[in-house]
Amino acid sequence: MPVFSLDPEQNDWCARLRALAVERLRPIAEKGEPGTVNRPLIAALGELGLLERLFGAGALELCLLRESLAQGCTEAETALALQGLGAYPLVLAGTGGQRARWLPEVRAGRAVAAFALSEPGAGSDAAALALRAVPDGEGWLLTGEKRWISNAPDADFYTVFARTDTGAGNRTGTGTGTGSGSGIGTSTGTGTGSGSRTGARGVTAFLVPADRPGLTGTPIEMLSPHPIGALAFDAVPVTGDDVLGEVDHGFRVAMGTLNLFRPSVGAFAVGMAQAALDAALEHTAERRAFGGPLSQLQSVAHQIAEMATRTEAARLLVYAAATAYDTGAPDVPRRSAMAKLFATETAQYVVDAAVQLHGARALQRGHPLEHLYREVRAPRIYEGATEIQRTIIARELYSPSRQEQKEQEQQHEQEQLGRGRQR
C-alpha cells in the first residue's frame, strides 16, 4: 500500500465540513429530541448537498465525510451515516422503479431510511436469522421481529432481511459465515461458527415501506441519544416488486453495503477521538495546578502524546483500508477489520483519557466530553464487534490462500506505483 496523505483540496473540504457541522448542523441537532429521528437535521443534510455527496462517494470520501462531521456534531454524522446504511442497498440492488420512488426523497432529506437485519436472537451468528418470509400467492408474508434497528420506528422505509428458504438456516457446515450490524446500538457483526455459511443462504432483502399493514415498532432507550427501536412483523405482505437483488441471495446485498460502510465506522471513531484530543489539549494548556499549567506536568504531557499518536495511527489505518477498497486491493477484509478494530478501541481510550484529564467537569450532563463518552461505546459493538474483527483478521492471516493474496498485494502495489509514475 503506498504511503498515504490527503491532498490540499481534500484537506480544505474537510475543514469546510467541520465548520458546517459546528455552525449549521449542531444548532439543529441540539433542538432535537434524544432517541427520535431529527427530521430537520436530515433535511439540512439534504439541503447542504451532503446526502447527495454520500451516495456518490467512494470509501475514502465517505470516511472523510464521517470523520469531519463527527468532530463537530456526532448527531449529524450519525444521521448521515444511517441514511446511507439504510438506502445503499437500494443503490446497490434496487430496481429502476424502487430507486425512482425513494432515492430522490432520501437525497433531499425528506425520507428516512433504515437497515433492518439484527434480531433478538441473531447477532453475530447469521445462521440464527429467524424473520420468516412465508410464501403467499405471488408474494410472501413477513412474520417475526427485528431489534436494535437504527431509525426505527420512525423511518419511512426499511431494508429488511428475511429467510425465504427456511431449510438453509437449519443446515450445518464448518465454514465461516457472514452477518452484519444494523447501525448505531446494534449487537451484530460478521459472524463465524458452525452453520453460518449455509445460514447466510436462503435470505432475501426486501424494501418495506413503514405503512405496510402488520408492521409496528417501538423505541428502545439506549445509552447514546440516537433513534433505536424494535420492529414487529405480523404477516406483513411483500411481493416480487419489493425484492432487492435476487430471492435467497439477500446477504450479498447486506455485505455489499457493509463492506463499504465498515471502514467509515472507524472514521466516525477517529472524528470523536480527535474532538476529545482537541478538548484535552485546550484544557491542559489553560488549566493551572501545582504552580503552572497541567501541560507542564510530564504525566499529563505524556498522556496527551499517547492520545495523539494512537489517534493518528487509527486515522492512517482507516484511510489505508478505504483506499484499498477504492482501488480494488485483494486484502480489503483484513484492512477493514483492522481499521474498525483499532479506531473504535482507540476512540474509547482517547475519550476516557480526556475525561480523566478534565476531572469531574467532564462528567457533568451537557459537557462535550460527557456526550462523547456516551457516544463512543457503541461503535465497538455495531457493524462487527471488536471480537469479531479479531476473528476476521486471524482468519485472513491463517487463510491457505494467504501466500497467493500476498502475491496479489505485491502486484497491486506495483500497478499503483506504475500509475503514479505515469502521472
Which amino acids are annotated catalytic?
A: 383
Nearest of 289, 265, 291, 337 to residue 81 by alpha carbon: 265
Helix (H) or strand (E) holding 159: strand 157-163
What 3 state SS string does 192-222 have? CCCCHHHHCCCEEEEEEECCCCCEEEEECCC
Burial 6-19 (b: 16+ CB within 10 A, else e): eeeeeeebbeebbe
Closest-CA residue to 66 (of 271, 259, 225) = 271
Grid cell at residue 422: 505515469
Q: Is 122 helix (H, G, I), strand (E, B) or coil?
A: strand
Phi, psi (5° rounding) for residue 203? -110, 135
The dihedral through the CA atoms of 198, 157, 22, 293 has a sign that is: negative
With 0-12 / 13-18 / 19 or more C-beta atoms within 10 angstroms meaning exposed / middle / buried, residue 266 is buried
Distances (CA, A) of 253 to 197, 222, 306, 399: 15, 28, 39, 25
Count of CB atoms situated within 10 Å of the CB of 232: 16
Q: Tell me, what DSSP letter sits at residue 133?
A: E
Cβ–Cβ < 8 Å for 157, 238:
no
Cβ atoms of 198 and 168 within 8 Å: the answer is yes
Q: Which residues pair with 234 in a beta bridge?
A: 143
Q: Which residues sit opposite 203 in a β-bridge?
A: 163, 249
Residue 183 CB partners (closer than 8 Å, separation 6+): 81, 82, 85, 86, 114, 115, 148, 149, 150, 151, 228, 382, 383
Count the Cβ atoms, other than its own, within 10 Å of residue 190: 28
